[in-house]
Amino acid sequence: MNSSQEYQEKSGETRKFLRALILTALGAALLVVSINYRVDRYYVFHAQEEPFMEFLEPNMRVLKTNYLETHCSRFDAVIFGSSRAAAIRTDDVNNAFGVAAYNFGVATGNLPGVLARLEWLDASGCMPKTIILPLSIDRLHFTGRPNDLLRKEHPAIVGDPAYAREFLLSYLGVDAFFSNLKKLMDQLISRPEPRFRYDPRSGDVEYLWDRELKLEACPDSSSRTDEVTIGIFVDYLQRIESRVRESGSRMVLLWNPIPVGDQLAHLDDARALFGRLQGTEQLIYRLPPGDARLFDSDQYHDLGHYKPDLAAAVFAAPQNRVPLRQLLNELQALQNQCDAQNDSH
C-alpha cells in the first residue's frame, strides 16, 4: 500500500469518526432538549390555567406571568411579595377590600421585582387599582443568583431580547437537565407526595406540609441591618409608592405576621425603617404583636411561612390598620417585657 492510499484510508476513518462524534453530540443535545421540554420541572414551557399539585416548586414568576399575560384584565387588585404572600388567599382579600385580586407573590420576591412587575402590568394596560404589599422586617436584603432556575424572571418582565434568548437556553440546556431528569426518575420510581397546590387562575398557593416548631416569645439575640441596605429598601418602596400614586391607584401595606420572637429580633431594624418611611404616621395593617396566634406554632408551616387563616386575620378588622408609630410602640412594649424577664433571672 502506497502512502497515498494509506492517507486516504486514514482520512476516511477520521471522517467516519467525526461524523459519528457529531451525530452522537446531536443525539445527546436532542435528548437533553427533549427531556427538558417534556418534563418541564419549572413550568416554563407549558402554561397552566387549571389548579394542579406538585411535589417540587415551579418557577412561580413564570407560572403567574404567563397567566396574567392573557387574563390580567380580570383583576383590579394585585398582591405582591414573597412566598409568604403567596399563601394569602385572594378570596379573603376580595371580601375584605371589595376587589378582584390576583396573587403575584413569588419565591424570594423583593421590592425591585415588585417594581418591575408593576411597571410591566402598567405597560400592558393592566395597572391594578389596588396594590397590596406585605412587608417583612427580617427580609430587608435583596438577594438572588442570576442562574437560579427556580427564581429566574419571566422575559416579558425584563423586556430584553438578549435575556429572552439566555432564558430559553437556560431551561433547555444542561443547567436544567439534571433537575428534570431527577423529577422524571422520582415520578417513575419514588412517586413522592405533593407538597404544593397551585391555582394559576387566582395565583393562590397552598403549602401541603408542616414542620414541627417551637416558637420563642423572646429572641436569644437581635440583628441589625446596615444603614445602606435599609436606605435601598426605603428607596424602592418609595419608588413603588410614587408609581402607584401617579397611576391614581391605592397601596395597602400589610405587616407579615411572622412569629413575635422574629419580629423582636429585628426591632432595631423596624425602628430605623419606620423612621424613614415618610414619618411614623403611615398606616399599615398588622396583627397586634400581643395576639396569641403569633405565639402558636400551629399557625405556621415553618418559621418563615404563616398559614392562610393567620394572614386573613391581619386585615380582617379595620382596627388592625394602625400608624407605624403604634406598631413600633407595641413591639417595644413586648421587648420591655422580655428585658424584665431576663433581669428577674
Query: What is the 3 state secondary structure string of 185-204?
Result: HHHHHHCCCCCEEEECCCCE
Reference 94, options 63, 128, 126; nearest CA is 128
If we measure between CA atoms, which residue out of 295, 314, 316 comes closest to residue 135? Answer: 314
Question: pTM score, two decimals?
Answer: 0.91
Neighbours of 224 (CB within 10 A): 11
21 contacts: CB under 8 Å, gap ≥ 6:
none
Flag the least confident range among 8-17, 118-127, 250-259, 307-316. 8-17
> Smallest Cα–Cα separation from 116: which of 66, 69, 59, 158?
158
| pLDDT for residue 7 is more than 70 | no
Taking residue 315's Cβ as centre, other Cβ atoms within 10 Å add up to 22
Phi, then psi, of 306 in degrees rounded to 5? -90, 165
More confident residue, 303 or 94: 94
**DSSP code at position 283:** E
Distance, in Å, from the CA atom of 151 to the CA atom of 163, rounded to the nearest integer, reads: 14
Does residue 310 register a pLDDT over 70?
yes
Task: Go through the domains of the chain in sequence order and give each one's CATH number.
Answer: 69-147+208-344 (3.40.50.1110)
Q: What is the pLDDT of residue 25?
A: 76
- Given the DSSP bridges, would you call strands 204-207 and 196-199 parallel, antiparallel or unpaired? antiparallel
Angle value at C-alpha 233, between 228 and 238, nearest 5 degrees: 125
Query: In the predicted model, what is the mean pLDDT of residues 300-305?
Result: 93
- pLDDT tens profile 162-202: 999 999 999 999 889 999 999 999 999 999 999 999 999 99
Assigned C-alpha cell, 117: 412587575
Contact assessment for residue 222 and residue 265, using Cβ atoms and an 8 Å cutoff: yes
- Identify the bridge partners of residue 131 per DSSP, sorted by sequence position: 78, 251
Q: Based on the number of CB atoms within 10 Å of its own CB, is 281 exposed (0-12), middle (13-18) or buried (19 or more)?
A: exposed
> pLDDT (tens digit, 9 = 90+) per residue, 67-77?
999 999 999 99
**pLDDT(249) > 90:** yes
Q: What is the mean pLDDT of residues 87-102?
A: 96
pLDDT tens, 22-56? 888 788 788 889 999 999 999 999 989 999 999 99
Mean pLDDT of the chain: 91
